């Protein structure tokens, strides 16, 4: 069964996932402008294909699959991907943070930056699986569909990715609870 | 055989909500007996919590958000610019046919005028949508942080007057919660829990928390200079327009009045109108939604 999307369907299929798609694009491309183009292209293709989407489809994992396919098709065509290091000037996350205590606010920002840097140090396959599971909360089966691999592979790769990331974040893990607790008191 | 070796990999599956049925039962039973697996689970959850606190990993720039919305708008309403273009051309037609200036670049001027007119029509809309989307996202992220226990309340009170007094002088806008609305039968569907200050776009915003049976509800309030209520399903009541949005399992209702913009976030699984009635069901204004 297919359905004709109305304005609100198209809108709801789009904007609510934009941060996740942008994060995924940055994790794949390591390049801000390429990530932005990739996200925009994803929406353009998604809108074109919306009429063929089944009513019971998982729009979120569908969008992530489109983004990944566009990126790897581009890679295949270009053969070389520009790997420009992120310069740390990414837009500050527009989250309403605890305001009363600037120290707690500062600790949260530092921790966030450490997590970003640690993730960007991981190999590409680990970066994307961490993003899809820990940040987008997709199920193993949904991730398997996006990555086009068996769910068992997702499980084992995710375990290895977590182990690597945990190692990179061991210092943060050791101190964050103590510091956060102290900051909030 | 309930050994740690057997259940070792189940710790990750459990954290990821991938266990179900008998497997889940067995693992829970094992956890209650096994200190080692409980410790491992605690470590994994601590690690996951650290990552979850960093959500979203990156935030899409407003410019990208606007570009995507514009692309959606163009795709959905392809007929609209054409219709508008025809109308503009029809209006300009008499001028185009005026004799005496055969070499004047009318076509170029018409195109410029058309682009200008389309810009006047669509750019403000795109900007409004982008601002509204940013505010909604912030309200949602704030709500999640509150649910996760990362935003402890700074004042705990069920009195709107006490919370209003607490915010006085702390936020850069005149914020007053309405006094308690009496219901005919004296029952209220929700109760106010407390409030706190939060940062929004370099300034302070007000976060008010409510509870309803098992639900937690938050209200983010800031000046309408930095936030917009727009889009979604519109509900009109008492001269106000409420914008109802369903996002990642949450209801977000936004509205603007008296120079302030509000965003109410909950996990209620209801339609737009029913969502309003959840709180207003016992109030005198229930028929106005």
pLDDT tens digits for range B116-126: 555 555 556 66
* Neighboring chain B residues of A47 at a CB cutoff of 8 Å: 71-72, 75-76
Q: With an 8 Å Cβ cutoff, are A40 and B67 in contact? A: yes
- The per-residue pLDDT for range B132-141, each reduced to its tens digit, is 888 888 888 8
CA A28, CA A41: separation in Å to the nearest integer?
Answer: 15
User: What secondary structure, in 3-state letters, does chain B show?
Assistant: CCCHHHHCCHHHHHHCCCCCHHHHHHHHHHHHHCHHHHHHHHHHHHHHHHHHCCCCCCCCCHHHHHHHHHHHHHHHCCHHHHHHHHHHHHHHHHHHCCCCCCCCCHHHHHHHHHHHHHHHHHHHHHHHHHHHHHHHHHHHHHHHHHHCCCCCCCEECCCHHHHHHHHCCCCCCCCCCCCCCCCCCCCCCCEEEEEEEEEECCEEEEEEEEEECCEEEEEEEEECCCCCCCCCEEEEECCEEEEEEEECCEEEEEEEECCEEEEEEECCCCCHHHHHHHHHCCCCCHHHC
Identity of the residue in B46, B67, B201 whose CB atom sits nearest the CB atom of A173: B46
Strand order in the sheet with B215-223: B155-156, B191-200, B203-212, B215-223, B260-266, B250-257, B240-247, B233-237
Q: Would you say residue A149 has pLDDT above 70?
A: yes
pLDDT at A8: 41
Mean pLDDT for the stretch of residues B47-58: 89
Distance of residue A78 Cα from the nearest chain B Cα, in angstroms: 24
Mean pLDDT for the stretch of residues A59-71: 91
Please report the residues numbered 132 through 151 in chain B whose beta carbons come closer than 8 angstroms to any beta carbon of chain A: 133-134, 137-139, 141-142, 145, 150-151
> In a mutagenesis test of the B interface, which of A7, A11, A13, A15 is the best target, namely the one with the most B β-carbons within 10 Å?
A15
Position with higher pLDDT, B45 vs A175: B45
Q: With an 8 Å Cβ cutoff, are A134 and B58 in contact? A: no
CA B285, CA A43: separation in Å to the nearest integer?
Answer: 41
Percent of chain B past pLDDT 90, that is, above it, reads: 18
Mean pLDDT for the stretch of residues A65-92: 65
Residues with Cβ within 8 Å of residue B59, at least 6 apart in sequence: A19, A22, A90, A91, A92, A93, A94, B137
**Chain B residue nearest residue A93, CA to CA:** B59
Distance of residue B86 Cα from the nearest chain A Cα, in angstroms: 23
pLDDT at A112: 87
* Neighboring chain A residues of B17 at a CB cutoff of 8 Å: 139
* Neighboring chain B residues of A15 at a CB cutoff of 8 Å: 65, 68-69, 133
């Amino acid at each position: 069964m297919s359905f004709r999307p109305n304005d609100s369907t198209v809108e709801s299929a789009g904007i609510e996932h934009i941060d996740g798609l942008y994060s995924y694009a940055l994790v794949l491309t390591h390049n801000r402008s390429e990530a932005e183009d990739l996200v925009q292209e994803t929406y353009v293709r998604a809108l074109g294909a919306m009429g063929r989407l089944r009513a019971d489809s998982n729009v979120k994992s569908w969008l992530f699959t489109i983004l990944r396919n566009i990126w790897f098709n581009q890679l295949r065509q270009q053969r070389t991907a520009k790997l420009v290091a992120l310069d740390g000037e990414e837009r500050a996350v527009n989250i309403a943070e605890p305001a009363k205590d600037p120290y707690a606010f500062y600790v949260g920002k530092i921790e966030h930056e450490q997590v970003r840097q640690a993730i960007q140090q991981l190999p590409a396959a680990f970066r994307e699986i961490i993003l899809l599971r820990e940040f987008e909360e997709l199920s193993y089966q949904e991730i398997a569909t996006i990555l086009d691999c068996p769910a068992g592979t997702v499980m084992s790769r995710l375990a290895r990715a977590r182990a690597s990331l945990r190692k990179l974040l061991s210092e943060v893990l050791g101190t964050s609870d103590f510091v956060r607790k102290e900051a909030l008191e | 055989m309930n050994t740690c070796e057997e259940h070792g990999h189940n710790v990750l599956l459990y954290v990821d909500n991938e266990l179900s049925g008998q497997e889940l039962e067995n693992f829970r039973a094992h956890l209650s007996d096994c200190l080692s697996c409980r410790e491992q689970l605690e470590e994994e959850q601590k690690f996951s919590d650290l990552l979850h606190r960093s959500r979203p990993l990156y935030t899409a720039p407003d410019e990208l958000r606007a570009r995507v919305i514009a692309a959606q708008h163009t795709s959905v309403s392809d007929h609209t610019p054409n219709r508008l273009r025809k109308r503009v051309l029809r209006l300009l037609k008499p001028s185009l046919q005026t004799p005496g200036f055969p070499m004047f670049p009318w076509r170029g001027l018409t195109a410029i005028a058309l682009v200008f007119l389309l810009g006047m029509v669509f750019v403000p809309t795109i900007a409004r949508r982008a601002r509204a989307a940013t505010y909604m996202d912030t309200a949602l992220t704030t709500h999640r942080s509150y649910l996760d226990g990362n935003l402890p309340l700074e004042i705990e009170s069920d009195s709107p007057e006490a919370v209003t007094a607490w915010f006085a002088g702390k936020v850069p806008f005149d914020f007053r919660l309405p006094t308690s609305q009496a219901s005919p039968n004296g029952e209220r569907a929700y109760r106010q829990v407390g409030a706190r200050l939060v940062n929004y776009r370099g300034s302070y915003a007000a976060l008010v928390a409510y509870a309803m049976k098992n639900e937690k509800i938050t209200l983010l309030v800031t000046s309408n200079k930095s936030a917009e209520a727009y889009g979604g399903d519109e509900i009109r009541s008492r001269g106000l327009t409420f914008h109802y949005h369903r996002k990642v399992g949450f209801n977000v209702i936004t509205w603007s009045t008296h120079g302030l913009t509000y965003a109410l976030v909950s996990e209620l699984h209801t339609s737009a109108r029913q969502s309003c009635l959840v709180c207003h069901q016992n109030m005198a204004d229930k028929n106005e939604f």
